[in-house]
Amino acid sequence: MKLGITLLICIFSLVAKADLSTDRSYKDVVNYIHNLATKYPQTTQLFTIGFSNDGVAIEGIQIGNGPMHNLVVGTHHGNEYGSTELALNFAESLAQSPIAGQTLYVIPVLNINGYNNRDRYEKVNGKYYDPNRDYPGPCGTEGPHNLNSTKALANFIDQKNIISSATLHTYWPAAVYPWGISTEDVDTPYTSTFVEMVNAATEASHYSVGNSTVLIYPADGAFEDYAYWKHGIWSILFEVGHSHSPSVSDMDEMIKGNVPGLRKMFEMAPQARAEKHDFTGKCSIGLRALDLHIE
């Protein structure tokens, strides 16, 4: 009897264990989402947002059939494989149980050659670009769009009418909201809504929450500010875990906190884009020196 119970516990813990790896290649990531699509044909569908400068398809998986469209994008920075693992495990959790009324588009890896090389930057013709400084922005950018990947994502969020988005990074525990640019005027008209979103997102993880510029540092040309500034997308940046090189057990903890957090956030997120999304403050370009390019 006792042995039976022990066996049952072992089997349950095997089933419940997240599928995590520290050394996946982009090909493995694609296989992962293709397997999900095969396993959950009723709730999922594969998609491609376009091609990287190397000509590789940037693939994702959409989950659910609802009229409200939301987005999760991982791995703008190729070395941040913990964010890829979170995106994959969130996709799997959604495939098992989609969010009512929503279609979630999950893109586990945006920066493909960076991911394969475990390099923050995306390499094109011998030059290295930071994909999360490559979008247009109200206080400037290192781009815009030196990279096909960032242009493809910019087109995608426009075409799909994305309402809320989560962009996933490592490596310190935080969920933050706009503005994250070189300015001292960091407040949007919607701080209270953003605070509700990050509070929901961190209910299980207990991560720090706040304004992106204040909690991290100013960064011009980042996706999260672009999505809000250009379209009024409710845009949250997640910095997950404690390291750019998390172990499997570190990532297990990361998944346990952030998979329910992401779900909770999307469940409570606004149903329509923000209306007042222009930047009306003053840029302080001198603050750009604070951008460490490590997050």
Q: Which residues would be at the binding site for Zn ion (CB under 5 A)?
A: 77, 80, 169
Q: Which amino acid is at 272?
A: A
Burial class (CB in 10 A: 0-12, 13-18, 19+), 109: buried
Tell me how far, at minimum, the Cβ of 76 lies from Zn ion, in Å.
6
The residue (of 131 and 232) whose beta carbon lies closer to Zn ion is 131
Q: Is the dihedral of CA 203, 74, 45, 151 positive or negative?
A: positive
Tell me how far, at minimum, the Cβ of 244 lies from Zn ion, in Å.
9
The residue (of 24 and 169) whose beta carbon lies closer to Zn ion is 169
Among 103, 76, 85, 224, which residue's Cα sits nearest to residue 160? 103
Tell me how far, at minimum, the Cβ of 288 lies from Zn ion, in Å.
17
Tell me how far, at minimum, the Cβ of 286 lies from Zn ion, in Å.
23
Query: Distance (Å, rounded) from C-alpha 153 to C-alpha 50?
Result: 8
The residue (of 89 and 167) whose beta carbon lies closer to Zn ion is 167
The residue (of 65 and 117) whose beta carbon lies closer to Zn ion is 117
Q: Is the dihedral of CA 205, 157, 46, 99 positive or negative?
A: positive
The residue (of 221 and 232) whose beta carbon lies closer to Zn ion is 221
Tell me how far, at minimum, the Cβ of 3 lies from Zn ion, in Å.
47
Query: Distance (Å, rounded) from C-alpha 16 to C-alpha 259?
Result: 13
DSSP letter at 129?
A: E
Contact 230, 136 (CB under 8 A): yes
The residue (of 29 and 36) whose beta carbon lies closer to Zn ion is 29
Question: What is the three-class DSSP state of 175?
Answer: strand
Q: What is the DSSP string of 223-258?
A: HHHHHHHHH--EEEEEE-SS-SS--HHHHHHHHHHH
φ, ψ dihedrals at 82, nearest 5°: -60, -35
